[in-house]
């Protein structure tokens, strides 16, 4: 039998639970009101060690349905955990699941937003720990069915392009939550749970930071680096664009577009030898592309004229 969900008016009895959902609502509404939330998002800054972004990005939601779904299930699951284990335990579990699921999503493809990864983790934790009478009825069969169906729907909407969803965050959150639940048991289950937590979390964080350029799961090598470089190129941040396109061409030396883009930025910076080399590599890789050919020969001719005029 399903356990009743506490009334929202009881928020004072669940301070840790309430703080998280209130912050989520406030941050999301501020974002919808065009506030600058860039410091909260999972960006390339996580690769430089800003792991706190995995936590703050969980507070932002893309639409009303996204916000309502996550806040409701956070309230249902988190109140049960806070009542049974205390606010400190709940907050520690929240931070752990946020970092683990967020890092997994970033390492897989790109950063995500929302409490979904954490919510899936809490659901899995409560299901594994369901023999604890304090958690009886919180996650019943109908709850499992809802989360299973929603997981499949999210995969379909992502693969069809209807609506991208952070599916890896959902999966990683569930695995980590289940591992956390196993750690509360004895013997082999505790050992298994600890192994799951250590392995998945370490792989996710490594893949999102130091190992990001080398441990590729989603997309072709250098693809994300190239897109970040292109964004820097558009905002005239030439130094950053050079760094990212250099990474892209290092990871995938056969990417003609990345070489061509690197040439554009190097030419902007008046680094003509480097620009000529980059254009040459792009032209050699794709000699039929007129943009690559014209850029290369235009720069070569300009340098030859400059050299003659200087003589």
**CATH assignment of the domain containing 305:** 1.25.40.10
- Judge if 204 and 101 occupy the same domain: yes
- Judge if 40 and 183 occupy the same domain: yes
- Judge if 59 and 109 occupy the same domain: yes
99 domain residue, yes or no = yes
**CB under 8 Å to 198, separation ≥6 — which residues?**
none
Please report the pLDDT score of residue 311 as a whole number.
46
- Judge if 55 and 129 occupy the same domain: yes
Give buried/exposed letters for 199-237 (b at 16+ CB in 10 A, else e): ebbebbbebbbeebeeebeeeebbbbbbebbbebbeeee
Please report the pLDDT score of residue 82 as a whole number.
96
Domain that holds residue 81: 8-208
297 domain residue, yes or no = yes
- Judge if 292 and 162 occupy the same domain: no
Domain boundary among 208, 239, 269: 208
- Judge if 227 and 306 occupy the same domain: yes
**CB under 8 Å to 271, separation ≥6 — which residues?**
none
1 domain residue, yes or no = no
Q: Quote the CA–CA distance of 289 and 259 in Å, as a whole number.
A: 13
Domain boundary among 208, 233, 254: 208
- Judge if 151 and 179 occupy the same domain: yes
- Judge if 151 and 200 occupy the same domain: yes
Q: Which contacts (CB < 8 Å, 24+ apart) does range 216-220 have?
A: 216/251, 217/107, 217/108, 217/109, 218/108, 218/109, 218/110, 219/109, 220/252
How many C-beta atoms surround the C-beta of residue 43 within 10 A? Answer: 17
55 domain residue, yes or no = yes
Name the catalytic one among 116, 220, 261, 271: 116
How many domains are contained in the chain? 2
For the chain, which residues score pLDDT lower than 70?
1, 44, 110, 185-224, 307-311
Let me know if 66 is a catalytic residue: no
3 domain residue, yes or no = no
- Judge if 304 and 229 occupy the same domain: yes
163 domain residue, yes or no = yes
- Determine contact, residues 48/212, Cβ cutoff 8 Å: no
Q: Quote the CA–CA distance of 15 and 7 in Å, as a whole number.
A: 14
What is the rounded end-to-end Cα distance, in angstroms, of the chain? 91
Name the catalytic one among 109, 170, 261, 283: 170
- Judge if 27 and 135 occupy the same domain: yes
- Judge if 77 and 20 occupy the same domain: yes
256 domain residue, yes or no = yes
Please report the pLDDT score of residue 252 as a whole number.
85
- Judge if 138 and 65 occupy the same domain: yes
Reading the block at residue 218, the tokens are 């989603």
Q: Model confidence over 221-239: pLDDT tens digits?
A: 666 677 777 777 877 888 8
**CATH assignment of the domain containing 41:** 1.20.1540.10
Chain position carrying tokens 């890789």: 285
Q: Is the pTM of this model over 0.85?
A: no
Q: Is 88 helix (H, G, I), strand (E, B) or coil?
A: helix
Please report the pLDDT score of residue 217 as a whole number.
47
Please report the pLDDT score of residue 241 as a whole number.
86
216 domain residue, yes or no = no
**CB under 8 Å to 29, separation ≥6 — which residues?**
none
Domain boundary among 208, 234, 261: 208
Let me know if 109 is a catalytic residue: no
């Amino acid at each position: 039998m399903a356990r009743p969900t506490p009334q929202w008016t009881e928020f004072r009895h669940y301070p840790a639970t309430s703080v998280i959902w209130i912050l989520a609502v406030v941050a999301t509404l501020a974002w919808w009101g065009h506030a600058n939330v860039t410091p909260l998002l999972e960006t390339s800054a996580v690769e430089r060690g800003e792991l706190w972004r995995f936590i703050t990005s969980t507070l932002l939601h893309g639409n009303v349905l996204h916000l309502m779904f996550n806040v409701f299930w956070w309230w249902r699951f988190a109140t049960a955990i806070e009542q049974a284990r205390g606010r400190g335990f709940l907050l520690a579990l929240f931070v752990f699941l946020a970092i683990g699921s967020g890092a997994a999503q970033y390492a897989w493809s790109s950063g995500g937003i929302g409490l979904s990864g954490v919510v899936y983790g809490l659901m899995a934790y409560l299901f594994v720990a369901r023999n604890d009478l304090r958690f009886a009825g919180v996650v019943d069969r109908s709850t499992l069915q809802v989360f299973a169906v929603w997981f499949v729907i999210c995969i379909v909407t992502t693969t069809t392009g209807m609506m991208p969803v952070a599916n890896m965050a959902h999966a990683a959150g569930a695995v980590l939550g289940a591992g956390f639940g196993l750690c509360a048991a004895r013997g082999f289950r505790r050992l298994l749970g600890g192994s799951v937590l250590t392995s998945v979390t370490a792989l996710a964080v490594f893949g999102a930071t130091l190992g990001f350029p080398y441990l590729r799961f989603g997309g072709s090598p250098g693809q994300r680096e190239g897109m970040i470089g292109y964004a820097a190129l558009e905002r005239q941040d030439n130094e950053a664009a050079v760094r990212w396109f250099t990474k892209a061409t290092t990871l995938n030396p056969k990417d003609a577009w990345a070489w061509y883009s690197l040439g554009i930025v190097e030419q902007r910076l008046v680094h003509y030898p480097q620009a000529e080399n980059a254009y040459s590599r792009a032209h050699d890789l794709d000699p039929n592309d007129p943009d690559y050919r014209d850029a290369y020969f235009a720069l070569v001719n300009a340098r030859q004229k400059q050299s003659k005029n200087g003589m």
